[in-house]
Amino acid sequence: MTTVHVLFIGAGRMARAMIAGIRRRQGPIHWDISVANHQDSARLTELTTTFRVRAQTDWRTAAEQADIIILAMPPAAHQTVLETLSHHVLPHQLVASVAAGIGVSGLASKLPEGTQCAWLMPNIAAAVGESMTLCAFGDTVTADNREKLAEILRGLGQYHVCTETQVHHLTAITGSAPAFAFQFAEALEQAATALATDETTARLLVGQMLLGSAKLLLSGRPPEELTDEVATPGGATAAGLSVLTEAQFKTRVMDAIEATNQRARALAPET
Ligand SMILES: NC(=O)C1=CN([C@@H]2O[C@H](COP(=O)(O)OP(=O)(O)OC[C@H]3O[C@@H](n4cnc5c(N)ncnc54)[C@H](OP(=O)(O)O)[C@@H]3O)[C@@H](O)[C@H]2O)C=CC1
Ligand SMILES: O=C(O)[C@@H]1CCC=N1
């Protein structure tokens, strides 16, 4: 079995979800994973014991051994880290960032010319192998490194290769929208507990309802058609849908998407 060395710089929520996803998959590669963060040593200890990863107090040492370096830290931390990394990165290595707004061109512009770069936009469901991850590759990435990264992304769930511009526009849809879905779930759970049941039951009812709805969507049927199938003409669901329409539900969702993507662009360091 091939061993591939992966270094995560940043050990927060996204790194944890990705490592959990990678460790779930029984694929053709053995992943030797190192993890570094800024200062939270308790976090590194927790990751080490849970996921068989190596904690690194100085990522520069581990960077030399890495085949793939994944930047999983806030966009604002990239400038300094990339400046240092540019003195260490080697031509055969792949540098990938999951930071919102960063862009594969932004990444490449701060590293030596020809450095192999990729920009990923996973989501938190990577932890359960159900992320919808976007991936934009830089021009210089070799077929071998594309395949290695693809193997990581298969561990996280589904992935979709697209352009950098598409990742900018779709960040809110795949990276952030799980939080919107969780807010919807929270509102439904609150209604369920206020009206009829306990919290555990409410979680099951709402979670299974969302899972079933997602499966129907993934079967390829359009949401308008599925909505019509639920809403019997003149029936109960139609009354609830009118309230959402009155509140301009779809417009508000679009506003949230735009605000998210704008903020992502603003957080990224200038190229
Ligand atoms: N959370 C999500 O669902 C998603 C997040 N992302 C992206 O993932 C990235 C991380 O987000 P998230 O995990 O939520 O954030 P967290 O705040 O949970 O984690 C950030 C991590 O980065 C580390 N860090 C900060 N500065 C540095 C530095 N200079 N050098 C090394 N490590 C550093 C922190 O270390 P310490 O704790 O020691 O300070 C921490 O481990 C962001 O760029 C975000 O845009 C992308 C898609 C989804
Ligand atoms: O909130 C954030 O900035 C990150 C980007 C996508 C999801 N979380």
ipTM over 0.90: yes
CATH topology of domain 172-266: ProC C-terminal domain-like fold (1.10.3730)
Determine the distance separating the centroid of ligand 2 and the alpha carbon of 22, expressed in angstroms: 20
- Tens digit of pLDDT for each residue in 69-86? 999 999 999 999 999 999
CATH number for the domain formed by residue range(s) 2-169: 3.40.50.720
pLDDT band, very low/low/confident/very high, at 271 (cuts 50, 70, 90): confident
- CA 100: distance to chain centroid? 10
pLDDT reading at 199 higher than 90: yes
d(CA 65, CA 53): 14
The ranges assigned to domains in the chain are 2-169, 172-266
Which residues have any ligand 2 atom within 6 Å of their CB?
Answer: 100, 171, 175-176
Residue 171 Cα: closest atom of ligand 2: 6
Residue 267 Cα: closest atom of ligand 2: 3
